[in-house]
Every structure is written in C-alpha cells, then in structure tokens.
Amino acid sequence: MSGAPGARLLKLFPGPPEEVAVAGTYLAERLHALGGAGQPFVYASFVSSLDGRIALRDPATGASRLPLALTSENDLRLFLELQAQADCLVTNAGYLRDLAARRLDDVLQVGTPDLADWRVANGLTPQPAVVVVSASLDFPLPASPVRHAQRMLVATGASAPAGKVARLRERGIPVIVAGTGVSVEGAPLVRELGRRGYRSLYLLAGPRLFEAMLRDGMLARLYLTTTHGLLGGAHFQTMVAGGELGDAGRLRVAALRYDAGPPDGVGQWFAQYDVIR
C-alpha cells in the first residue's frame, strides 16, 4: 500500500517542473493543521476517467464499484496519505452496506505502519473518528471501528425515524441531527463536528454529500485523480448529479502532478483544486 518502490511523479504546477517522490506528496499538505477553531478543513477526493465516470453502477442492484482500470498503486498511496491526515472520516450508509456485502474494501482505518506513526508524531489520535451519514438509518454497524477503538457518530436529518435514533443512542453512538428534512445538510454537519473539536474532515461519502458540501460553501479542497482512459457505459456515477452549481462550483487549480506509468501505461493526472469562496 506504499506505492511502487521509489515511485516518482512529475510536478508540473506550481513550477518549475521537477520530479518528486510519491510517498509524502500529500502528507506535505498538513491538512490536519489547516482547520481553525470550530471550522474544520473539509476535503474530498475522487478518481475519474476522462469521460467523467467515478464509478460504474449495477442496474440490477444499484451497487456502485470503482473499476480497476481507474486505479493504481500510486493513487492508492496518495489516498492513504489523505486518509491519514483526517481527524474524522465522513462516510455513508451505502458504503457500510457494500462493506457488509464484501463488495468494497474497508477504508475506515489507517492501516500502514508509517502512516500510523505519522499520525501519532503529528498529534492526531491513532485512528480517525468515523461519521456515518444516513437519512433512513438503515445500515449495519461495522465491527472494525470498535476493534480499532475509533469513535463512531451518526449524522441524519430531523425527519429520521425516531425509534432508530433512540436505539443508536442506547448503544452509546452519538446521533447528530444535521438537516431540517430527510437529508443531511453540509453546513450544520460541519458546524457540529467543529464544535466537537474535529479539525480535518475527509469526505468518503460519495457524490451526494460532496455536492451538499459544495452548495453550502463548506468544501475547501478537492483532490482529483484523472486516469487517461474512457470508460463509457450507460450506468455510472459522476462527481455531481444534481442541478447547476453556479458560483458554488468554482475551483482554482493549486497543484498538478503527472504519472506516466500506471495503470496499464495510460498514466494519470493528480490535480488539487481549492474552492473559490
């Protein structure tokens, strides 16, 4: 999970161009230190094909999967570096259902020794907290956060089933009401997590919450890996599926790196965008 040994990227922007090691590239961002008092630094990442697919969807089950054609060892290493800098990982009920069905890997823990050591050396807890976003509260509780002594919270809307909210609280799981209707809203969730002392929030919750964070002006940064290939297909996910974003969707490129090799020799861009507010 550490990327190819000795792997290098070509940093193109900001210039001048130079080769840099993959390992440590995103750790140098020090995202855990960018959040202010009560205002967490919110960031997200996606891997995309050139035709904008971030996942393919099974029309029979509705389950999504990340095609292997989009992934590489170097992209995985950079993902793990983003994960390692989070006070709190924000995921959704769909991910937990897919995890329970063994359709996806468990990415709720920092699993490599060097990144675990990095967290401790930088004043972070051994493992990030986990927030599960769900309107229905219909999901299996994963065993891994308990096994790794991670704090788990659930976020839902005000219209969530009261009985399910009560049962979660009876089990000692805090439930955050972050929205006036069915769905979780970005701004109330970020404000509440900030009040609870979390400084860096990494969104692993897919397009819906990503879009909510954009519309509410809560997202600070997007890390986008673009694999140089076309997927096609009629059933897929993109980063944003709702209506026009307008000014909420304005981004400014902050860094661009190029990997000429994987996957399968097509290469990847590693771009970093800051949201314009």
- How far, rounded to the nearest angstrom, does the alpha carbon of residue 91 sit from its chain's CA centroid? 8
**Residue tagged 């401790």 (tokens):** 120
**Which homologous superfamily is 8-275 in?**
Dihydrofolate Reductase, subunit A (3.40.430.10)
Distance, in Å, from the CA atom of 1 to the CA atom of 238, rounded to the nearest integer, reads 26
Residue 102 per-residue DSSP state: T
Per-residue pLDDT for the chain (277 aa), expressed as one digit of tens each?
456 668 999 999 998 999 999 999 999 999 999 998 789 999 999 999 999 999 998 887 777 788 888 999 999 999 999 999 999 999 999 888 888 888 788 899 998 999 999 999 999 999 999 999 999 999 988 888 878 889 999 999 999 999 999 999 999 999 999 999 999 999 999 999 999 999 999 999 889 999 999 999 999 999 999 999 999 999 999 999 889 999 999 999 999 999 998 888 899 999 999 999 8
Q: What is the pTM of this model?
A: 0.94
Q: What is the pLDDT of residues 214-249, one digit of tens each?
A: 999 999 999 999 999 999 999 999 999 889 999 999
Would you list the domain boundaries of the chain?
8-275
Where does residue 111 rank: exposed (0-12), middle (13-18), buried (19+ CB within 10 A)?
middle
For the chain, the DSSP string reads ---STT-EEEEEESSS-EEEESTTTTGGG-GGGS-BTTB-EEEEEEEEETT--SEEE-TTT--EE--GGG--HHHHHHHHHHHHT-SEEEEEHHHHHHHHTTSS---SS--SHHHHHHHHHTT--SS-EEEEE-SS---PPPSHHHHTT--EEEEE-TTS-HHHHHHHHHTT--EEE--SSSS--HHHHHHHHHHTT--EEEE-S-HHHHHHHHHTT---EEEEEEESS----SSEE-S--SS--GGGG-EEEEEEEEESS-STT--EEEEEEEEP-
Residue entry with tokens 């161009």: 17
State the residue for tokens 């049962």: 167
pLDDT tens across 158-171, in order? 999 999 999 999 99
Question: Which residues have a Cβ under 8 Å from the Cβ of 129 and sit 6 or more positions away?
Answer: 87, 88, 89, 150, 151, 152, 153, 198
Return the residue matching tokens 């170097």. Answer: 74
Buried/exposed code over 166-199 (b: 16+ C-beta within 10 A; e: otherwise) = eebeeeebebbbbbeeebbbbebbbbbbbebebb
